[in-house]
Each structure stands twice: as structure tokens, then as C-alpha cells.
Chain A
Amino acid sequence: MTEVVVEERFSLIKAFKKIPFSTKAVGALYLVILILGLVNGFSFSRLLSDSLHLFGVWALFSLANVPSIQAGTGPNFALPIGIVNGLLAMVLVLAAGFTGMGFIVVASLVAIIFGSASGFLYGKLMNAVKGSEMAIAPYTGFAITAVFGLVWLSIPIRHPNMIFFLGDGLRHQIPLDYFRAEFILANFLFFEIFGLEIRTGELIVVVVACVLMWLFFRSKMGLGITAVGRNPKFAKASGVNVDRSRVIANMISTAVAALGVIVYAQGFGFIQLYDFPMLLAFPAVACIVVGGASGQKANVRNVVIGTFLFQGLMAIALPVFTRVLAGGAGAGIVGPIRMAIQNGIILYALSRMSKGGK
């Protein structure tokens, strides 16, 4: 009696209809600015290179949301927890005298360890506040950023290239070039093709992390975490340890964020401390929502598409608007416009979150 699988015929129209609206909207905006740029004399490879650059440094922050969303604890608005761990790892490893690739490798390992450990505690917290995760998470992020503000001030590191010129405490920005640690990943196997700059090392890290995440969610533990997020009662009845799954998901999420800030710092050439971690959570969540994720469902595809579109848009908006407006209203207005676009998209993405970007 059973009809056996009618393989769905592939059709472009159907495929297009399936794209979430938020992806289409931001995608369209990206195209508009891209075309505006081309018309105003930018080369295609220049704009694409810029897009890829921001994509590379942001992808892991956006990826960090996948496990927490899948486990049902919502987007990781507590991203700053992972970030301060990554920052702490870098600061300690620099102070210990590591430079160059050694610095990146050792800092990454330390960041993953620190990140997992704090993710463990954060996961426990999420279990204690079941039902109001989304309210607690951002606040936890603020709190940890504030606490680490004190840590940066009082940490007993005396390296002259890291502390304030006057008085104690770490600087707001620690340039990595003193430590031969800037652009390490970006320059690793760097090449140019048709003018397109490929930061191979950076992309390798991103691709490996994405593939591992994708594989993880096809493993027993990953599928268990997904079931916990979709229906905790079902998961429990199937023998999944609900609380443990949520903790593991948040450990992974926090560790990925910690690793993310290392990629970010080397990509720009300096470590930023103090208020910096707080600025990243919302754009990171916006990335994944633009890619089609919702507060309950997210995957690696959402990360890749969303981060490229949103951060790519931010990357090309600045130079394109600067040139377009330079003759008219003047360059002064470019910054505010870019901020308006960024925050507009974030606001839009957050409002779309419950609907999965539809």
C-alpha cells in the first residue's frame, strides 16, 4: 500500500522559494552594494576579497551559535564568555614568550581548554535557569566582560608591549606585530588568483571547524543534542541525558568562540580587550539568522551563507559608500550609514529569529 519515494524533481523555482526571506533580503542588499561598487570603479576581485576577509574572521563566532541553538538553549548571546577566554589565552601565551605560528597554536589549545571549562560552568547555569535562557544569556555576557575589565587591569603582566605606557594594566589594543604574530593564518599559504586574495590559513581553520561541526551533528552525541533541543521529553524517553547534552553543547559553543577570537585578532593584527567582547555577540547571532537559522534550528549552511552575506555586506559597504558619497555629503556620513545598516540588519535578524528567517 505504501507509495515508495517519489524523488523530488529539482527545480530552480522551488529551490529559490525555499531560501529564507532574510537570506534573500540581505542577499539582495549585498548585490545592490556590489553593483554600486562595480559601477563606481571598484574591481570585482577587490570587493570579493574584502567580503572573504570579514567572512573568515567572523565565521567561527557565528558557528558558535550552532550547538547552543540545537541544544535548545538558544543563540549564544553569552558569546563574550568564549571571547574573554580566547583573549586570556592569547595574553598569557604572549606573556609566556611565544611568537609567530607557535603563539597561534599554543594560544588555540589553551583557548579551547579555557573555553570548554567555562562552557561547562555556563552550561550548568543554563540548566539552572531552564526556560529563561534567552534572558540570562546576554546578561551573563555583559557581566563576564565587566569582570574581565578588572582582570585586564590587575593581571600581573609587565611586558612593555602589552601594558599602558603609564601605570599598570593591559592596553586596550595589543598590536601583534611586536610578537611577529599578526596575519599568521592570513598569510599562511596566501595566494592571489585573478586579483582575488585567498587567506588560505584562515579559510582552512574555518572550513575544518565547519566540517567538524557538521560531522558532530551527524554523530550519536550530536543527534542526541539536536533531539534535546527539539523535544526534551522525547530525548529523555529515548535515554538521552538532557542536562549533560545541554552542557556539552555549550562547552563546544564557548570553545569555538574562544578559538574564533584568535582568528579574529590575527586577521586584524591586534588583540582588543575591555569592552570589545560585548560588541560581537549580536552581529554573530545576526549572521546565522540571515543564513536562515531560527532560535530553535541552525546548521552549518546557515553559518556559511549568513556570515558571508552579512559580513561581506559590511566589508564592501564602507569603501563603496565612501567613494559614492565623497563627492556629495562627504565622507563623514559614511561611518554612521554603515552603523545604521549593521544595526538595522541585526534588529531585523533578531525580530526574525523565531520564524527561522522566513
Chain B
Amino acid sequence: MSRNLLEFKSVSKSYLENQVLKDVSFDIRAGEIHALIGENGAGKSTLMNILFGMPVIHSTGGFEGSIELEGQKLDIMSPFDAMAAGIGMVHQEFMLIPGFTIAENIKLNREIEKKSLLNTITSRLFGKRMKTLDFKQMNKDARAALDKLEMNIEEFTLVQGLPIGYMQFVEIAREIDKTGLKLLVLDEPTAVLTESEADSLLQAMKNLAARGISIVFISHRLGEITAVADRVTILRDGELVITKDVKDTNTLEIAEYMIGRKVSIEREICETRKFTDAEIALSVKDLHVAMPNERVKGVEFEVRKGEIFGIGGLAGQGKLGIANGIMGLYETRGEVTINGEPMPLNKTRKMLDAGVAFVSEDRKEVGLLIEDSIRHNIMFTSMNIHSEFLKAGLIDKKAIREHARKMIKDLDIRCTSEKQRTGRLSGGNQQKVCVARALTQKPNVLFVSEPTRGIDIGAKKLILDLLMELSSNGMTIIMTSSELAELCSICDRIAIICEGEVVGVLPPDASPTKFGLMMSGIKDVEEEVQS
């Protein structure tokens, strides 16, 4: 346990003039789970990208300092070098190939070749590419890796259209399948998972660590860190704050180290708000949405003005389909009324015009123009819908700049300026830009899906408080989230979705057991709990 596997020695890194890592040194022991935490933009992903030799590091001038593996200086110039050294990484942003099956993705670039005379000859003649692949063996290995994660999905399913939660498991299975794996880096693997999915992942991590594989685990969920990690290293603004044994610390202390001041993680519980008199802002009847792997099959609910309505459930059960369908992003049928007005479906523009805004769960594909600046992203929807930020029909740079700066301040978006490209922001800060864009629309009904995915606890509190504030000013909010605790902390009611239908609607103070049972599709919760 005490043997050092890996050592970071005075690692520093700058992107242009922006120094994002300053003289970071710490070590990782063999077979330990080492948590790496810090606020959004603290430099966690950057540090791991350095370790894994990601091209983005070397195309921006490399880094200073050194990394040693088992006492030997590592010279990692590319992910292939890292893999050869026994380092595996699951990135914050997915790196799967949609048109390939799960097994193919797991085996990507390491395809098993059939051993035969014919193969030896063809590969001599035509190079490696021509060798016939042993699909049977590939599928078998993939199956084994998936089983280790207790994931019962067919290995020959196409990755295309898999729910995000599943993709995460496929990524991890790919790394587990590598032989000679010594160190596995997981960059926010649980951000996209529900509690129960996260639990099985944490269990899988423990199993791996028990087999001697070290794990670097990045997460903003402090509870998970205290649950599985042996040691924790905290980064703040690119500097190492401290490395501690987890058993000598607690979530509150970690949060303090992270933010540099005391924070309350728990939201003060407010009295249950009553909405029985308020008019109905959104009503949904018999909603069907053809979103692949998040199919909605006849959902019905009503949300009153000013209410925060939560939608929860396991990945792949359809909770994400609801908001996507209502916004017209996937083929939808049913009845939706907004403020008493029946709405045409499959018409995104009509919904936006009616004052409905949407923060997508998929920030990279749907939520952002990653090549454009923060300010451009923030103003875009509003400019298109309300013709705001235009002067004589042309873009009004001054108004945009001022508004963007205000949003950057309000949401504490960590960036070099409002002109920075959103693709260069840390994951959590990208998420804040998406939220800023939706708020700029000044909606009266706001759909937010996974609003705090990848956001650090400080910023998370900021966003949840903001949603609370907006709702007390009369905004109706429908929040879809994989994180039950988050739903319970601000929602007035929470609908649980299973197999595309609403299983039930619970108050936020219902017991976790009730939520758990409902998520697995058990309707008559009262009886179940009693029996």
C-alpha cells in the first residue's frame, strides 16, 4: 500500500499567459484510490491530460516539471505512450465512436487478431489492417469487462444513441479491459450517473483497487470521495493545497480547503411551499417522445406557476426525453399547454416564443457553440428569439459585452475574458455558460436538465440558489436530474420516471427508500415499505 506508483514533481502548465497549474507535487500509491478535487477550472483535467499525454497539452507548449512511474521518469508524448506505460483514462468528455458497437469501442485500436497461417501471411503482405478480427473473442472480453461493472447491456449494441450514463460505463469497461493496467484515471465518471449507478461504479472501483490497480478519481461529489477514496489531493487555482488521508478528514473540511473559506454544503431546509392556488403553468398529457434510449411513453403531469418540479429516474428510463420532447428536439406527440395555451409540438421556435427555455443535458452537442466566444453563446438564443442585442438589425457588441460580463460575474464563470472560446473553458464553467444563455432569454418556464453536472460544490450551491430565487420570482422550473439529493434540495415535488412513464410523484422529504423503490418501477410504495 505504501509503495509509490506515480509521482508528480513540480508540474506547472500555462495556456498562453494563463497559468493553470503551479508547481504541483504529490504521489499516488499502488492500489490506492486517490481522489483529486478542486473547483471548476482548478486544473484537475489539465493535470490528468498531462499525465495521459493528450495532444492539447503538447500543441500548447507542453508543461514543466516531471512525472515518475515506479521511480522512472516518464516521457509521455501521446496517449499511446501512456497506455504502453499502463495508464488508462476516462475523460470528462466522451471519446466513443458512435457508429461502432460497445464491444468494438472497448477493443478500439487493440482489436484481437485471429491467429492463423493465413493471417500471418496477409499481415506480412498488407500490414496489420488486413488481419481478420476475432469478433468472438472481442465480444467475450467485452462481455467480461461489462460484467465486472455489473452492466447488463448487450455488447453488440451500437454506442450511437446510448444514454449518457451507459456511455460512461462503456468507457470504463474499455479501460478495465486493458491488460497491464496499473493506473486508471477517472475524470468525473459519476457526474452523469444516478446515485445507484454511481454506487455500483464505486463498488467496481473498490474491486479494481483491491486487485492492485491505482485509481485517480475526480469528482465534485464529496460524499463519494469520503466513501471510496484512501487519500485526497485538493487543488485550488492550479496550486496544491494539501494531500490528506481521507480517514483524517471530512466533507466539510475538504470543501473548506477547496474554496478557501467556510461553506455550508447543506441547503437550509425551507418550509414546504404551497402552490394549490397558483395557476397551472405547464400541463403535459399523454406525452410520447422518440428520443433513442430515453423514450417517453405516455407521461402526464402538471406544474403550477412558480413551482420547481423535479424529474428523476435511472439512466435510460426516459426522464431526459421529456424536456427534449417538449422543446421539439425529438419526434413527439401528446398534449402540452403552457399557461393555458395549447402548444403545437415539434416546433422548437413556438416553445421558445412562448417563453420556454431549455438547458440541455448534452452541453457539448446541443448546449454550446464550442468555437465561439462566451459572450456569443450567452446572447445567441435571446438574439434569435427576441431580437435582443441588435442595433439597427446588426449585432450590438457593446450590449453583448456588458451583458456577458454581468453573467460572468453573477454565475462566477471562471474565464480569461468574455471573449474566450467556450471550448477552452473547464467543463463546469461551460455548464455555467449554458445556464447563462437560458437565463438571458428571461423565460417564464425553464427546463433544466442536469444543471449542475460537473459543477463544483460552491458553484452548485450558487446555481441551485439561483434557481430557487428565480422560482420565488415566479419562474416555473422543471429540473431533470440524475442526482436525487439535488432534486430533494430544491424541488417542491419530484416525479420519478421508469420505463417511459411516471411511476409516482413524491414530496422532497419522502424517504430515500421510497425514491429507490419507485426508480425500480414499483408503484405502490406505501405497501412495499410496509411489507
Show the binding face of A for B, using Cβ within 8 Å.
1-6, 215, 218-220, 223-224, 227, 230-231, 233-234, 236-241, 297
Contact = CB atoms under 8 A, between A and B. Distances in A.
A219 to B, nearest CB: 5
A224 B384 contact: yes
* Chain A interface main SS type: loop
Which of B329, B365, B371, B395 gathers most chain A CB within 10 Å?
Answer: B395
B133 interface: no
Contacts of B153: none
B372 A1 contact: no
20 contacts: A1-B412, A2-B409, A2-B415, A3-B416, A5-B418, A6-B416, A219-B390, A219-B394, A219-B395, A220-B393, A224-B384, A227-B369, A231-B369, A236-B329, A237-B366, A238-B352, A238-B385, A239-B384, A239-B385, A297-B371
Contact of A4 (B358, B380, B393, B405): B405
B343 interface: no
A233 B352 contact: no
A1 B387 contact: no
A6 B417 CA distance: 7
Contact of A234 (B366, B416, B417): B366
B417 A4 contact: yes
A233 B366 contact: yes
Contacts, number: 79
A230 B371 CA distance: 8
A183 to B, nearest CB: 35
A59 B348 CA distance: 38
Nearest to A5: B417
B395 A238 contact: no
Contacts of A241: 349
B384 A220 contact: yes
A239 B409 contact: no
A2 B390 CA distance: 26
Nearest to B420: A5
B30 interface: no
B376 to A, nearest CB: 8
B380 A223 contact: yes
A218 B392 CA distance: 11
Contact of B348 (A4, A218, A237): A237
A240 B384 contact: yes
A223 B395 contact: yes
Contacts of A218: 394-395
Interface string B355-394: 0001010000111111110000000110111010010011
Nearest to B359: A237
Contacts of B369: 227, 230-231, 234
Interface string B88-117: 000000000000000000000000000000
B353 interface: yes
A219 B416 contact: no
Given A2-B412, A237-B360, 17 more contacts: A2-B405, A3-B417, A6-B416, A6-B417, A219-B393, A220-B384, A220-B387, A224-B384, A227-B380, A234-B366, A234-B368, A237-B329, A237-B381, A238-B352, A239-B348, A239-B384, A240-B384
Nearest to A241: B349
